[in-house]
Chains A and B, each alone.
Chain A
Amino acid sequence: MGDREPILQVKNLKTYFYTEDGVVKAVDGVSFELYPGETLGIVGESGSGKSVTSLSIMRLLDERGRIESGEIIFKGRDLLKLSENEMRKIRGNEIAMIFQEPMVALNPVYTIGDQIMEAIILHQGVDEKKAREMAIDLLRKVGIPEPEKRVDQYPHQLSGGMRQRAMIAMALSCRPSILIADEPTTALDVTIQAQILDLMKELQEEYGMALIMITHDMGVIAEIADRVAVMYAGHVVEYGEVHEIFKKPRHPYTYGLLSSIPRLDVEQEKLKSIPGTVPDPLNFPSGCRFHPRCEFAEDRCKEEEPEMVEVLPDHYSRCFFWKKLEGLEVK
């Protein structure tokens, strides 16, 4: 990776939410890079901050959420310093996003065609007739049968898989250089998920985009990602190349997560499990946020917060005792 220029750099991002119950430190010092054409997987459980990270990049937080500090460098410019007007030229145009539940993300009172054309007309300055043609082409490209008919239909007339295809068509309409996909297949059946993942890989290659895939599913990550950031309680706890993360996890959380998945491809006697529950974001544990659930924790972990360390070339872990994981195999 060393000599390539990243297309997106997130540096020490902190996004907090000010709620009635207190401050939720949803993202608390997250850093990563995204290189042109690659797929970065961000994996974590609910409340880990993976979705808030992506919404921060798009600057789509609701009024309670505030980006406290950090930088998001896209093509040499800090997105956090742009005016709302400048940001609008990037959002949907250069960085596009697709969401988990296409039924919620699509507007129910506009046709699929109208919604795709909106972005095309806004960002590419073409007339309506041309935009419509482009919309039909895009629908065909994402594998929607009879695009001439579908373009005039409303979201509720499409199946879940078709809606997700329509969302992808919309996201690709301006040939973005980055596509952020937030749990794009979670609401879909596995046979449809396979179709959508396949489509995304194909289109990524064709368009040469970089992809940020946010998911809780380690299977999806293994299928599609080049590099992985594992998030836990607002932190990236492990970060590295996909084979390294899966074969040589160096953070106890990653190790626990990988060992606790029921697998189709191997026989397991009893599943390993991580004790306890995901911590309350209003009240993260002191020291290392994973220490109450960690089988390797020592006294130091309760008091001191570990920093990211490079444990292998281009492989980082936020753990004092990562060496304890050497030689452990994920079964």
Chain B
Amino acid sequence: MEKRTVLKVENLVKHFPIKAGVFKRTVGWVKAVDGVSFEVYEGETLGLVGESGCGKTTVGMTLLRLYEPTSGRIIVEDEDTTYYFMPMLKAKSYIKKTYLDRFERLYREKKERALEELNGVDKKYYEMFLNGGKSGLYRYLISNMQEKRKAFRRNVQIIFQDPYSSLDPRMRVKNIVAEGIKAHGLARGEEVVRKVSELLSGVGIIPEHMYRFPHEFSGGQRQRIGIARALALQPKVVIADEAVAALDVSIRSQIINLMEELQERHKLTYIFISHDLSVVKHVSDRIAVMYLGKIVELASKKELFENPLHPYTVALMSAIPVPDPDKRNKRRIILQGDVPSPINPPKGCRFHTRCPVAKEICSEKEPQLVEVKPGHFVSCHFPGSLGWKS
């Protein structure tokens, strides 16, 4: 079966400035996300796992454009959405630099032959460039920005971690869930109430409770409401940022099961962000392991757990306490020290300061994320050198 890419991230970078002094000069940068690329296929769940400060949440927020990316491209449904939420001037200069000027150069050098070396969105836009010229492509990209933004918001939604702070305490549940439906003009009047009832019963909340306020619900129920809100616009991609981390163990499995049911029913695509490898393993089809702003390993779940290649992945797996007292004496890899600061990440491989198998080259040369087997990417000079079996 041909897998269709719904969302593609290319070399995403997000740096936050550190301001200091009376004039709030920028004295440094927090390199929260520093060159992350991945694709998400239709109907799958991509798990994004890592410890605090690895940049997993920033990836989610930047995808949604709650943060403006420093650089990189975010492609959704074969359209470049990177410039959708930029101020007009910036958006124009982005389009000019990324497409118009580049395509002009390509055309001068190779004419139509350039099509052969392009793919995805580049190929699509280059064809438009060939057919409609520079101005045709420009008009296509810059027109109807308002509609493009709306379409993006419909397509990509988020479920937040904390069901207590992510629902407005002064709004009734009905209005929380209906806000998007109304803003996008998907329904009016009685139709809205019917839609909200449908959504609420779909997540296991009694529809009659829609006139209640968030504080009248428990944590698990609030998370259900947050899920109903996210699904109200029938999104293609749902980013779940630590969606079950704040819940009690017995409630957590309810929500995980609900999310899986909904995925099947609505053909949803999930990006599941979590620090908890056990949860990520349960829900994901493919998993990306992050460390200090980079993806260190990406593979299908089966491959990652059978054949982890990056020493950090191995250490992470071995560090998780298994709820079986018989497995207590398994060999554990205990990493030394703490995660270094993302302001001054270590030179070379970012993991080398804590890596049990690091050699000289690791502190000098930064390894690239390379495909070592079909679908299995790892960024390590010595992949597979740290072994571990439970």
Which A residues form the contact surface with B (CB < 8 A)?
45-46, 159, 161-162, 189-195, 197-198, 216-223, 225, 242-243, 246, 256-258, 260-265, 268, 270-275, 277-278, 293
Chain B: minimal CB distance from A238 (Å): 15
- The residues of A that contact B326 with a CB separation of less than 8 Å are 243
- The residues of B that contact A216 with a CB separation of less than 8 Å are 248-249
| A225 to B328 alpha-carbon distance, docked (Å) | 10
Say what secondary structure dominates the interface of chain B.
helix
* Contact (Cβ within 8 A) A257 B51: no
Which residue of A is nearest B282, CB measured?
A262
Which residues of B in the span 229-267 have a Cβ within 8 Å of any Cβ on A? 248-254, 256-257, 260
- The residues of B that contact A221 with a CB separation of less than 8 Å are 323
* Contact (Cβ within 8 A) A262 B322: no
Is B15's beta carbon under 8 Å from chain A? no
* Contact (Cβ within 8 A) B319 A268: no
Is B316's beta carbon under 8 Å from chain A? yes
| A197 to B318 alpha-carbon distance, docked (Å) | 13
Given that A194-B334, A268-B282 are contacting pairs, would A278 and B250 also be in contact in the complex, using a CB cutoff of 8 Å?
Answer: yes
Which residues of B in the span 303-333 have a Cβ within 8 Å of any Cβ on A? 305, 315-328, 332
Binds A, one of B2-10, B119-127, B137-145, B272-280: B272-280
- The residues of A that contact B323 with a CB separation of less than 8 Å are 218-219, 221-222, 246, 258, 261, 263
Given that A216-B249, A274-B250 are contacting pairs, would A191 and B335 also be in contact in the complex, using a CB cutoff of 8 Å?
Answer: yes
| A45 to B254 alpha-carbon distance, docked (Å) | 15
Cβ 8 A contact of A273, one of B253, B279, B319: B253
- 11 A-B pairs, CB-CB below 8 angstroms? A190-B275, A191-B319, A219-B321, A222-B322, A246-B323, A262-B283, A265-B390, A273-B250, A274-B254, A277-B218, A278-B251
Which residue of A is nearest B319, CB measured?
A194
Given that A263-B278, A264-B278 are contacting pairs, would A190 and B248 also be in contact in the complex, using a CB cutoff of 8 Å?
Answer: no
| A258 to B319 alpha-carbon distance, docked (Å) | 20
| A191 to B278 alpha-carbon distance, docked (Å) | 14
Is B281's beta carbon under 8 Å from chain A? yes
- The residues of B that contact A271 with a CB separation of less than 8 Å are 253, 256-257, 282
Which residue of B is nearest A195, CB measured?
B334
Which residue of B is nearest A194, CB measured?
B319
* Contact (Cβ within 8 A) B51 A262: no
Given that A194-B319, A219-B320, A221-B323 are contacting pairs, would A277 and B251 also be in contact in the complex, using a CB cutoff of 8 Å?
Answer: yes
* Contact (Cβ within 8 A) B316 A264: no
Which B residues form the contact surface with A (CB < 8 A)?
51-52, 218-221, 248-254, 256-257, 260, 275-279, 281-283, 305, 315-328, 332, 334-335, 338-339, 390
- The residues of B that contact A275 with a CB separation of less than 8 Å are 254
| A277 to B339 alpha-carbon distance, docked (Å) | 36
- The residues of B that contact A225 with a CB separation of less than 8 Å are 325
* Contact (Cβ within 8 A) A193 B319: yes
Cβ 8 A contact of A278, one of B248, B322, B338: B248
Which residue of B is nearest A232, CB measured?
B250
* Contact (Cβ within 8 A) B334 A198: yes
Given that A194-B334, A268-B282 are contacting pairs, would A278 and B319 also be in contact in the complex, using a CB cutoff of 8 Å?
Answer: no
| A220 to B249 alpha-carbon distance, docked (Å) | 13
Chain A: minimal CB distance from B260 (Å): 7
| A261 to B218 alpha-carbon distance, docked (Å) | 20
| A243 to B334 alpha-carbon distance, docked (Å) | 25
* Contact (Cβ within 8 A) A278 B254: no
| A189 to B51 alpha-carbon distance, docked (Å) | 6
* Contact (Cβ within 8 A) B260 A191: no
Which residue of A is nearest B204, CB measured?
A275
Given that A161-B338, A219-B320 are contacting pairs, would A278 and B218 also be in contact in the complex, using a CB cutoff of 8 Å?
Answer: yes
Residue of A217, A257, A265 with most chain B CB atoms under a 10 A cut-off? A265
* Contact (Cβ within 8 A) B256 A192: no
* Contact (Cβ within 8 A) B319 A265: no
Chain B: minimal CB distance from A218 (Å): 4
* Contact (Cβ within 8 A) A46 B51: no
* Contact (Cβ within 8 A) B248 A45: yes
Beyond known contacts A193-B319, A194-B334, A222-B324: 18 more, CB 8 A cutoff: A46-B248, A190-B275, A191-B51, A193-B321, A194-B319, A194-B332, A198-B334, A242-B325, A243-B326, A260-B250, A261-B249, A262-B253, A262-B283, A268-B282, A274-B254, A277-B218, A278-B248, A278-B250
* Contact (Cβ within 8 A) A277 B252: no
Cβ 8 A contact of B320, one of A46, A260, A264, A270: A264
| A256 to B248 alpha-carbon distance, docked (Å) | 13
* Contact (Cβ within 8 A) B249 A260: yes
- The residues of A that contact B218 with a CB separation of less than 8 Å are 277-278
* Contact (Cβ within 8 A) A270 B257: yes
| A246 to B327 alpha-carbon distance, docked (Å) | 12
- The residues of A that contact B328 with a CB separation of less than 8 Å are 222-223
Chain A: minimal CB distance from B314 (Å): 11
Residue of A192, A225, A293 with most chain B CB atoms under a 10 A cut-off? A192
